[in-house]
Amino acid sequence: MKISTGLIIVAFALPALIMPVHAADAPKPSFDHDVKAVMAKYCVSCHGNRRPKAGINLSKVDSELALVKDPDLAERISEAMTDRSMPPKNKPQPSEAERQVFGDQIEHALNSLNNLRDPGPSVIQRLTRRQYNNTIRDLLGVDTKPADAFPSDGGGGGGFDNNASTLFVPPILMEKYLAAATQVLDQADPKRWKVATPDDKLSKDAAARKCVETFATKAFRRPANSQEVDRLMGLFSRADRRGEPFNRAVKLALRAVLVSPHFLFLVEKDQPGSAPYRVSEYELASRLSYFLWSSMPDDELFRLAENKTLSKPDVLEAQVQRMLKDPKSRAFATDFGAQWLRVDTLASAAEPDRGRYPSYNATLRDAMSEEAIQFFHALMKNNAPVTDLIDAKYTYLNENLAKHYGIEGVKGSEFRKVEMKDANRGGVLGMAAILTLTSYPQRTSPVLRGKWVLEELLGTPPPPPPNNVKVLPPDDHPKGDETFRKRLEAHRKDPNCASCHSKLDPLGFGLESFDAIGRWRTEIGGKPVDASGKLTTGEDFTGPAQLKKILIDSKKDLFVKNLVSRMLSYGVRRGVEYYDTATIRQIATALEQKGYKSTVLVAEIVKSYPFGYRRNESKTEGKP
């Protein structure tokens, strides 16, 4: 029997093929080999020291430490490599094995942050205007919103106006505080502060001291100490000696309380030593109340703080559930939800052309914003899954906005829950406030809408456009046989634009069935709407419903991580840093394990290390 030479070769080679390669023969995964070398080979030519494209200089990422110091950049690099949006198609491409190991090594580097425990700097936060109004309301029963006359607060890290590092105190603000203190005390019912009255059994000084101490304790959000009360009583005593009536003399001391730093700021006391430490029970109560209510703690939170039981995890969870069901939790929707989704800027940032969109007016605009706020408030109050933000089967409408959407059967100006029969409309991507905010006066903008999805929903903002970018026409009417979409696709052929627009445009195209004020449409200038798109990861879709399904199916992790990061930033009143990465990941994991319920998200944040701990401002940051 003849045996072919080929079979002999295979027979001898087979053992080598089926036996594992000895560990010493295979290169061990490492940052230098699998990340640094791959970036040097495929990335640094465009993203190096000399004119780095999109402002991203990867030549500085020369170690794991440099990488984890900027986890957002690390994840953007990993995403760009694994979703194949980088390198550009006309450049040399890594192998699939290189892409996989590259992503694994970045994940390994980011996991090193799990052992880093740093609650971040503890900058004392001034009350924002909304927080001041709400606190005065709950302290004195006055609902006149005196802080509306204060200078605007601006915005800080994470995009929220409660960022402690940006809340300055200009001189004019102190004048406003003095005027507001006098105003609100004059407007308040004396029963709100007059807890004692001089009589045969209680001297004038004793009654005044009881009023002042009780009021200061509530206003300072922790027990006022004897030295503080003594100083305040000095104001009462001087007024009393001048012959001032009891009420007026006490109110002079109370006015001093309302302009004290202990009222105007969320003061937290430094502890000895350089190690992080748990905040006090009263400080935790204020962190919790200003997180969910944008106001001072109520009697129950004060009682739990006094009993030193608030910091227990099960107690915190119970308080989160109670507080989210309270009507005051609407402040969480207006202060966090509206700022995150950016609908709080609708009045100032969007101005549709009234000639082209005559139905758009202030009443409709306010209804658009209110839909987003009501939806977010209900989501939290009812413990709905956070994924409803992307694809809910309901929303909150009044008659005006329902007509705008073409929905019948909704009567009156009051907002109410409405079940959505159209799968295209549910969730924030079908809300007119978002769609108007991401449009130009005369037309929609797939670029702005795609950017909003990447930035606000997924937390993967694109780099800023190059300076020499071409300006597209202000309207979307076809020019002959060329639709606006074709002009935009031609614009994407510019190599300087293609890498970003390949991510931006498909997301925006998926929302093209909504016009510039969020109405459904089937044509643009007589041409059928083309709402199809293809993501860089390969998924094809047509229209909002299919786009939302892809976001839920394959982008959920990005969405959840971004939501956790934004809410944590708002909760701790600062921008998130690299040392928060482990906390963000832990919360995202807990959220996934518990069905993405919104109450779980909030509870995990208030139980987290950065929410419950602080360090003295002078301490330097730790290193992983």
In this prediction, residue 58 carries a pLDDT of 87
Instruction: Identify whether 260 is part of a domain.
Output: no
Please give the average per-residue pLDDT across 537-564, as a whole number: 96
Instruction: Note whether 340 and 429 are within 8 A (CB).
Output: no
Per-residue confidence band for 6, with pLDDT thresholds at 50, 70 and 90? very low
* Alpha helix ranges (H) inside 293-431: 299-306, 313-325, 330-332, 338-341, 346-349, 362-381, 388-391, 399-405
Nearest of 413, 395, 616, 621 to residue 518 by alpha carbon: 395
Angle value at C-alpha 288, between 285 and 289, nearest 5 degrees: 85
Q: Is the dihedral of CA 570, 573, 575, 580 positive or negative?
A: negative
- Model confidence over 292-304: pLDDT tens digits? 999 999 999 999 9
Could you tell me the residue range of the domain that residue 496 belongs to?
342-553
- DSSP lists the bridge partners of residue 534 as 540
CB within 8 Å of 393: residues ≥ 6 apart: 419, 420, 426
211: tokens are 């009023």
Residue 14's pLDDT is 34
Alpha helices in 83-198 (DSSP H): 96-111, 129-140, 171-187
Distant-in-sequence, close-in-space partners of 148: CB < 8 Å, separation ≥ 6: 129, 133
Distance CA(125)–CA(521), nearest Å, equals 46
Instruction: Identify the pLDDT of residue 268.
Output: 95
Give me the phi and psi of 208, to 5 degrees please.
-65, -40
* DSSP 8-state class, residue 128: P
CB atoms within 10 A of CB 203: 11
- Residue 270 in any domain: the answer is no
* Helical pair 598-606 and 281-292, crossing angle rounded to 10 deg: 150
Alpha helices in 201-259 (DSSP H): 204-220, 226-241, 246-258
Q: pLDDT tens digits for 196-230?
A: 999 999 999 999 999 999 999 999 999 999 999 99
Is the pLDDT at 623 greater than 60? The verdict is no
* Domain end among 65, 100, 115: 115
Backbone φ and ψ for 131, nearest 5 degrees, come out as -65, -40
Residues in the chain: 624
Q: What number of H helices and E strands is found in the chain?
A: 30, 10
Burial of 522 (0-12, 13-18, 19+ CB in 10 A): exposed
pLDDT at position 495 is: 65
Strands (E), 380-475: 394-397, 416-419
Instruction: Select from 494, 518, 553 the last residue of a domain.
Output: 553
Q: Please state, in angstroms and rounded to a whole number, the distance separating the CA atoms of residues 358 and 475.
A: 16
pLDDT at residue 530 above 70?
yes
Question: Within a domain: residue 300?
Answer: no
Listed in sequence order, the residues at least 6 apart from 95 whose beta carbon sits closer than 8 Å to its beta carbon are none
Whether residue 506 is contained in a domain is answered as: yes
Q: How many whole angstroms separate alpha carbon 439 and alpha carbon 352?
A: 8
> Biggest alpha carbon distance in the chain?
128
* Predicted pLDDT at 491: 64
Q: How far is 216 from 210, CA to CA, in rounded Å?
A: 10
pLDDT tens digit sequence for 55-67: 788 888 888 888 8
Cα gap 354→275, rounded to integer Å: 59
Q: What is the pLDDT of residues 444-454, one digit of tens each?
A: 999 999 999 99
Q: What is the spatial distance between Cα 442 and Cα 459, in angstroms, rounded to a whole number?
A: 28
Asked if 194 and 250 touch (Cβ cutoff 8 Å), the reply is yes
What pLDDT does residue 84 have?
79
Q: What is the pLDDT of residue 18?
A: 37
Give the tens place of pLDDT for each residue, 349-387: 999 999 999 999 999 999 999 999 999 999 999 999 999
pLDDT above 70 (res 16): no
Domain boundary among the residues 63, 88, 115 is at 115
- Is residue 404 domain-resident? yes
| Plot region of 228 (φ>0 → left; ψ -120 to 50 → alpha; else → beta) | alpha
- The total of structural domains in the chain comes to 2
User: What CA–CA distance (Å, rounded) separates 569 from 587?
Assistant: 13
DSSP assignment of 260-316 equals SHHHHEE-----SSSS-EEPPHHHHHHHHHHHHTSS---HHHHHHHHTT-TTSHHHH
Query: Which of the four pLDDT bands, split at 50, 70 and 90, describes residue 12?
Result: very low
Residue 156 banded pLDDT, cuts 50, 70, 90 = low
Q: Which pLDDT band holds residue 38 (cuts at 50, 70, 90)? A: confident
> Which residue has better confidence, 352 or 157?
352
User: Would 95 be classed as within a structural domain?
Assistant: yes
Q: What's the predicted TM-score (pTM) here?
A: 0.86
